[in-house]
A and B are shown apart, each in its own frame.
Chain A
Amino acid sequence: MRMHPLLTMTLQRLGFGLLTLFAITLLIFFAIELLPGDLAQEVLGQSATPETVAAFRERLGLDQPPVQRYLAWLGGIAQGDLGTSLANGREIAGLLGARLGNTLFLAAYAAAIAVPLALVLGLLAALYRGSWFDRTVNVATLSSISFPEYFVAYILMLLLSVKWGLFPSIADIGPDAGLGTMLYRTFLPALTLVLVVTAHMMRMTRAAIINLLAQPYIEMARLKGASPMRVILRHALPNALAPIINVVALNLAYLVTGVVIVEVVFVYPGLGQLMVDSVTTRDIPLVQACCLVFAGIYILLNLCADLLAIATNPRLMSRR
């Protein structure tokens, strides 16, 4: 029996994704291995006696050679065991779970605003290219992408929180907060992220569509009497989807993995902040786990983008 081409492709890409993830585990583990200083010494402090340090090392298995420790770590991951935190001895999987949920919530919140906004602005800019609207949107999005995100974050905080008191400056979400409250309290970090990612997606949408407008089939659509809006939505957009999907996926991945600074600025209990905290406490297994989760999400989103881009192309879909 012959498999559907999309299914074959999915399996193939999934295989490549796993391979990439494996390469990343190597990178993460040995890069951290290269960090200067001795972990046990750092954790126990200057006053620790050589005996306690040695005992600590033995308990953590740090006296084993790196390759063996790597294999043990990899074996654990394969079975879903991310190890325990050095700082408090708790299961890392449990620690990550709640934080990852928060990060995904914030990313989804920002994406729900940014993606439609970017697409609509990009389409309109392409439709009215060269007009004042096009120029304004271009300048505005370019400026927002040119500022570092912590700068945008503090400006928003200053205006919307300190001056006008519209939104809280600290995105403190308790376990019992309802959806409305959560959306309200995380509005500023979400807005910061929206401002940072919209420009890229919007500009790609505009460029991908304008690129196609010189195609003969666009002229043919015009000669059939199609309105400019119809030409763009029905004739240009379907053919521009592949590059747009790719940029959207890259930005979604950035929303999840690039939030570290925004989470820290707004004291938001997400994965990024957890990672920063664990770096300061030298909680290496936790740092590794965070890196791995980020990498996995990155790969997964790009995989989805590839598959979607293929699914929107009838040429690739029907090839056997």
Chain B
Amino acid sequence: MTDPLLSIRDLWIEGRQGRDWQPIVKGIDLDLHRGEVLGLIGESGAGKSTLGLAAMGYTRDGTRIAGGDIRFDGQDLLGLSARRRRALRGKRIAYVAQSAAANFNPAHRLIDQYAEAPVAIHHLMKRPEALREAQALYETLRLPNPQEIGFRYPHEVSGGQLQRAMTAMAMACKPDLIIFDEPTTALDVTTQIEVLSAIKGAVREVGTAAIYITHDLAVVAQMADRIKILLRGEEVEEQETSAMLSAPQEDYSRSLWAVRSHAAPARPAPPAEAVPVLRVRDVGAEYTRGTPVLQEVGFDIHAGRTLAVVGESGSGKSTLARVITGLLPPSDGAIELDGAPLPPQLAGRSKDQLRQVQMIYQSADTALNPKQTIREIIGRPIRFYRGLRGAALEDRIRELLTAIELDPDTFIDRRPGALSGGQKQRIGIARALAAEPRVILCDEVTSALDQIVAEGILTLLRRLQEEHDLAYIFITHDLATVRAIADDVVVMQEGRVVEQAPRDAMFAPPHHPYTEQLLGSVPEMDPDWLDRTVAQRAKA
């Protein structure tokens, strides 16, 4: 067998924590041959991205390579001068990042950023040739208007298109190796499937080797020849994809698989005469007059039940949340709490009405004030709604922290910066719970979290629901979450409800065509799923 294209031996990478250096990647070995795709999976903090960047001889500020050996095509990457290493980057090893929107420079057109590496940095070709190749690649990646789209600025192009444009940019110098770092994690399932098949097709066509980093097993099953699982910087196991899927050896690998099959038992439907805790009646909403974002949206939700609102981005899910909370008064229809109309404006609602509808946000990072301690964050709604002070307030904060399974003594004086993503989201839950609400709006609360952490959050939410008879409105684009937690499902498309049913009925055919498309876009573990689905859709 020929020498591997990339060979990593006993690689140690450290990250700075205050004054100390802590290992992030602990003695990893990795081999990759030409034309081969290796999947790297693990939860965040497992060292996947750090390892991926190290394969380019690159470390972020605050990290350093402490030991080991990285060989690319026979060259010792760590021994090269900075200039020689730069000569490899972009030309022979390229990188595709998670958030294309953040990784494109807002000041330059797509085509200029495409041409930068082959023309200005590595001098492989002249600009007209680069433009022609860009247009051909844009076409391969199935971007609309391949001739024209490159002349747009990043903000004028959608997320899924940007992600493909970035893949094209990485391929500009026909590299031997591309590092894909969670390239579809930020996308809707319906967009993801297009990007995945475009990437897969392009990689196959050019014969590039790739490292595909993700935390989504089903995605990596579509893309990779081999899968390596990382946990806290260490390798758990590495196997051929089919072997990994059918017979994972380690407990941790098996636990990753198990998470996906989770589904809550169905609850009996509420009695027909019960008054819903919240009723949304024919609601319409618009940001600018004459262009409705929501039209005739209506549903009921009963105490102790979970309603999932699903749809891709732009379907009006978050606008619906704004209408229910009163941030955006509806242009049409009404909202009822316990059978009584809820004033449309936030300012018109009484303290008690405000208390009963609370919200948990997608990004706990930005929803918690970084300057406040946990005590202040949770204490504020308790003081505001319940008027507790002093020892009673302190007791209540501690009680809530215990309820969300965080130790009060450890956490009460911390600030959000000292918490993990899952812990921050728990604080967000405690803050909503502090008001003692009847309805909680959960806006994509698990989509920024890893599967295992997200699983913990969902279990917690479900337990709290049973204890407090809470009604949840769960806004999500992730159908696995829906399966795990929802009692009823509302499917939205372009501001309208296209289907509405109990969960089990929703996941069983027949479906509305749009629901069908959504369900069909969720990657399955079967490695042939992507090719098969794309082929089916092409035929249809």
Q: Point out residues on A near B: beta carbons under 8 Å.
A: 214-217, 219-227, 230, 234-235, 238-239, 312-315, 318
Contacts and interface: CB of A to CB of B under 8 A. Distances in A.
A81 to B, nearest CB: 47
Nearest to A217: B105
Given A220-B97, A318-B155, 19 more contacts: A215-B102, A217-B106, A221-B105, A222-B89, A223-B89, A223-B90, A224-B94, A224-B116, A224-B117, A224-B121, A225-B91, A225-B122, A226-B86, A226-B90, A226-B121, A235-B107, A238-B105, A239-B106, A315-B153
Interface in B470-488: none
B153 A216 contact: no
B60 A219 contact: yes
A225 B105 contact: no
Contacts of B60: 219
B90 A224 contact: yes
Contact of A314 (B61, B90, B106): B106
B104 interface: yes
Contact of B121 (A230, A239, A318): A230
A306 B368 CA distance: 34
Chain B interface category by residue count: 20 to 34
B459 interface: no
A315 B156 CA distance: 8
With a 10 A CB-CB cut-off, give which of B91, B116, B120 has the most chain A CB atoms.
B116
A224 B175 CA distance: 11
B365 to A, nearest CB: 16
A39 B106 CA distance: 59
A174 B97 CA distance: 64
B173 to A, nearest CB: 9
Nearest to A317: B153
A217 B153 contact: no
B331 interface: no
A318 B155 CA distance: 10
Given A217-B104, A227-B86, A222 B58 contact: yes
B97 A216 contact: yes
B87 A225 contact: yes
B95 interface: yes
A219 B103 CA distance: 8
Nearest first, the 4 closest Cβ-Cβ pairs linking A and B are: A224-B90, A238-B107, A225-B90, A225-B89
Contacts of B86: 225-227
A223 B95 contact: yes
B107 A314 contact: yes
Contacts of A314: 106-107, 153, 155
B239 interface: no
Contacts of A312: 107
Nearest to B89: A225
Contacts of B102: 215-217
A173 B121 CA distance: 51
A220 B87 contact: no
Contact of B89 (A216, A224, A230): A224
A244 to B, nearest CB: 13
B134 to A, nearest CB: 14
Interface of B: 53, 56, 58, 60-61, 86-91, 94-95, 97, 99, 102-108, 116-117, 120-122, 153, 155-156, 169
Taking chain A's interface residues, is the majority helix, strand, or loop, or is none over half, making it mixed? helix
22 contacts: A215-B102, A216-B97, A217-B105, A220-B103, A221-B116, A223-B94, A223-B95, A224-B89, A225-B88, A225-B90, A225-B91, A225-B117, A225-B121, A225-B122, A226-B86, A226-B116, A227-B121, A235-B105, A239-B107, A312-B107, A314-B106, A314-B155
A230 B61 CA distance: 19
Contacts of A238: 105, 107-108
A227 B91 CA distance: 13
A229 B117 CA distance: 15
Nearest to B117: A224
A217 B97 CA distance: 10
With a 10 A CB-CB cut-off, give which of B56, B61, B103 has the most chain A CB atoms.
B103
A227 B117 CA distance: 11
B120 to A, nearest CB: 8
Contacts of A225: 86-91, 117, 121-122
A188 B490 CA distance: 76
A202 B169 CA distance: 34
A225 B88 CA distance: 7
Contacts of B107: 235, 238-239, 312-314
A235 B121 CA distance: 13
A314 B169 CA distance: 20
Nearest to A213: B61
Nearest to A226: B121
B177 to A, nearest CB: 12
Nearest to A238: B107
A106 to B, nearest CB: 35
With a 10 A CB-CB cut-off, give which of A222, A223, A226 has the most chain B CB atoms.
A223
A270 B223 CA distance: 73
Nearest to B169: A224
A224 to B, nearest CB: 4
A215 B102 CA distance: 8
A239 B108 CA distance: 10
Contacts of A220: 95, 97, 103-105
Contacts of A214: 61
A238 B154 CA distance: 15
With a 10 A CB-CB cut-off, give which of A214, A215, A314 has the most chain B CB atoms.
A314
A66 B194 CA distance: 74
A234 B121 CA distance: 12
Contacts of A227: 86, 121
B73 to A, nearest CB: 16
Contacts of A224: 89-90, 94, 116-117, 121, 169
Contacts of B106: 217, 239, 314-315
Contacts of B56: 223
A238 B56 CA distance: 27
Contacts of B94: 223-224
A313 B103 CA distance: 17
A227 B82 CA distance: 9
A217 B103 contact: yes
Contact of A216 (B58, B88, B103, B116): B103
A239 B105 contact: yes
A226 B56 CA distance: 14
Given A216-B97, A216-B99, A314-B155, A223 B105 contact: no
Nearest to A319: B155
A232 to B, nearest CB: 12
